[in-house]
Amino acid sequence: MSMLLNMGSSASLLRRLVPLALLASVVGVAGFTARAQGYILAADPDITVLFIGNSHTHVNDVPGSVVELAAANGVIVDVEVIAPGGYTLRRHAADANVQAALASGDYDVVVIQEQSQKPAHHSDFIRETAPAADAMARTANASDTRIVYYQTWGRRDGDLYTGHATFGEMQSALTNAYDTLATDTGGTVAPVGETWRYVRDVAPHIELFDADGNHAAAPGSYLAAIVLTETIVEIDLVEAPAVGSIDDDLAGFLLNYANFAPTS
């Protein structure tokens, strides 16, 4: 069961989830295309999580994979998602409905993901990302909600806008920016981008990128979900279930790579 929640100017997907059998239907909302699976409402979740981001969160349904990974390792996670395509933290921070969600105290963890270029562009980071993250973090901290920053990955071929010629250069800038946010606001970084860097080095045959060189292919999203799950539930996963096009073998390989990857 998938349920849609409209939150003012934000389009969002509400998921209170415990995985059951996979269904074949698909749900779409305002640039958010998520696989619809068999779910029941989590009556007594171990952890409640609010994801705030954009397409790097909703493409390939990263939050749904987090739910499944956690469940396979004995943890019930209740997830809500606010992730319209292209959104920046500045837009999220200005949204009264996002502010209300952060202030509600309904979540144990909030996962914050910035637009993929902003943290790697120095002036954008200073003028936009850092103030927005600080405002969101202050509201979350006041409601005793733990903050996890979803460190994204550099673009496959670098990015002219941010001034980085290669994936590695852009990734280093992103890593530094997310580390700064975590230090300044008392959050924790989920080192997704650095894990991507490691897997691209040791297993280049696994294609993490979609054809656009920006968004994730299914293996890249699943790898992101592993890193996020381990950061959210604060355990090393030992089980990685098959999800969609990710079969048991690939899931196991990605889990092993994630557990061996350096974090910075």
pLDDT at 32: 34
Distance CA 191, CA 199 (A): 12
Secondary structure of 97-160 as H, E, C letters: HHHHHHHCCCCCEEEECCCCCHHHCHHHHHHHHHHHHHHHHHHHHHCCCEEEEECCCCCCCCEC
Long-range contact list for 213-216, CB < 8 A, 24+ apart? 213/155, 213/156, 213/157, 214/116, 214/155, 214/156, 215/55, 215/56, 215/59, 216/56, 216/59, 216/60, 216/153
Q: In a structure prediction context, what are the per-residue pLDDT tens digits for the chain, which is 264 residues long?
A: 222 233 333 333 334 444 433 322 222 333 332 322 333 345 578 999 999 999 999 999 999 999 999 999 999 999 999 999 999 999 999 999 999 999 999 999 999 999 999 999 999 999 999 999 999 999 999 999 999 999 999 999 999 999 999 999 999 999 999 999 999 999 999 999 999 999 999 999 999 999 999 999 999 999 999 999 999 999 999 999 999 999 999 999 999 999 999 876
CATH number, domain with residue 255: 3.40.50.1110
pLDDT at 247: 97
Element (H, E) at 3: strand 3-7
How many domains does the chain fold into?
1
DSSP classification of residue 31: T
DSSP classification of residue 217: P
pLDDT at 162: 97
pLDDT at 264: 62
pLDDT at 19: 43
Residue 252, classed as helix, strand or coil, is: helix
**Helix, strand, coil percent content, the chain, rounded in steps of 5:** 40, 20, 40
Could you list the residue range(s) of the whole structural domain that residue 242 is in?
3-260
Question: pTM for this one?
Answer: 0.86
pLDDT at 42: 52
